Amino acid sequence: MRTPSRARHARPAATRTTLRTGLTAALLPMCLAVPVVGTAFAAPAAAATQAPGVVGIAGPTAAVTPGLRAVNVSLSAGGRPVAGARLQLQVATARGWTGAGSVVTGANGHSTAALRFSATTRVRAVAAATATSTADVSREMLVRVDQPAAARASAAARPALAVGGFRAAALRVALAQRGKPYRYGSAGPSSFDCSGLVYYAFRSVGKAVPRTSSQLRSATVPVSRAAAQPGDLVFIPGHVGIWVSPGVMIDAPSSGGHVSVRKIYSSSYTIGRVV
C-alpha cells in the first residue's frame, strides 16, 4: 500500500518540474524580444525630429551691370517652408567661399538679400541645422556682370552722377536696419515708419531730407524707372521706400512688419532722386 502512495506523490513533482521548465522557456524569448521592440519604435521617433533641409537660391538670369542686385533664397524641410531660419549668403573668391551677409526667412520660408556685384561671381546660400531641418547648401548660382561700352561712355559723359555716392551710402545704411520693427512716427534707430527709414538713412550720411513721404516727394527730382539707381526713392501712394534694383526696394512696410528688402508691390509707383 505504501508503494502506490509514493507513486501518487511522484507524479505531481514531475508535473511541477515540467511546468517550471515550460514557463522558463516561454519567458526567455519574451524577455529577449523587449529590446528589439523598443529599438524598432525609438528609431522613427528620433528621425522625425529633423527633415532634410532644402535651400533654394535665385537671382538675375541675364547679364547685369555692376551694382546692387536682389538674390532670393528659401528654406524648406519635408516639403514645408521653414520660417525664422538664418541663411548665410556666400560668394566665391580666389581664397574660397566668403560670407557676404545673412537673411532670416519669413513665414513663407523665403527672403531676399541685396548683394553688390562688380564682376561675374558665383553665389550660394548655406543653412545651419534647425529644430526641424538638417543643414544644407544651395546649388551654386552664377551672376554674370557686364558693363557694355555704351554704358561706360554714358557714365563718363555724366560725371554729375558720381555725386550720387551719398545715395548709395544711404542705401547701405538702410540695408543695415533690416529686421527692425515698424512703428508709426519712428525715425530710428531701433524702429522706423516708412519715411522715418528714409530720413534716418540719408541723415546718417550727412544729407538733410524732409521727414514725411509727401515732403520727400516734393523735394526730389523725378526720374524714369529705366534711369533709377540704388538709393533713389520709390513713391507709392501713401508710402515711400528706397530703390535697390529693378522691381526691388527696401522699406519699413506697415504695423507688425519689419524693415526688409522686397518686390515693389504696386505697378503705379514713381521714382524720385535726392540731389
Report pLDDT digits (tens) over 233-250: 999 999 999 999 999 999
Which long-range contacts does 176-180 make (Cβ < 8 Å, 24+ apart)?
177/201, 177/259, 178/103, 178/250, 178/258, 178/259, 178/260, 178/261, 179/104, 179/258, 179/259, 179/260, 180/252, 180/258, 180/259
Half-sphere exposure of 51 (CA within 13 A, CB side): 11
Question: What are 257's three cell numbers?
Answer: 512688419
pLDDT of residue 132: 80
Q: What is the CATH number of domain 158-273?
A: 3.90.1720.10
pLDDT (tens digit per residue) in 174-226: 999 999 999 999 999 999 999 999 999 999 999 999 999 999 999 999 999 99
Cell numbers representing residue 255 in the block: 504695423
Handedness of CA 134, 139, 140, 142 (dihedral sign): negative
CA 7 to chain centre: 87
Least confident range of 2-6, 167-171, 209-213, 217-221: 2-6
> What pLDDT does 184 receive?
96
Q: What's the CATH class of domain 53-143?
A: mainly beta
Q: Categorize the per-residue pLDDT at 67 as very low, low, confident or very high, splitting at 50, 70 and 90.
A: confident
For residue 130, the model assigns a pLDDT of 82
**CB contact set of 171 (below 8 Å; sequence gap of 6+):** 68, 201, 230, 231, 242, 243, 244, 250
d(CA 49, CA 43): 11
Q: CA-to-CA distance for 244 and 247, rounded, in angstroms?
A: 8
Cross-strand pairs, 89: 101, 125
Per the DSSP assignment, residues forming a β-bridge with 68 are 116
Give the start-to-end residue ranges of the domains of the chain.
53-143, 158-273
State the pTM of this model.
0.47
Mean pLDDT over 258-275 rounds to 95
How far is residue 62's CA from residue 209's CA, in Å, rounded to a whole number? 35
CA–CA distance, 243 with 191 (Å, rounded to integer):
20
Distances (CA, A) of 240 to 112, 172, 173, 185, 269: 19, 17, 16, 14, 9
What pLDDT score does 152 carry? 56
* 55 within 8 A of 74, measured Cβ to Cβ: yes
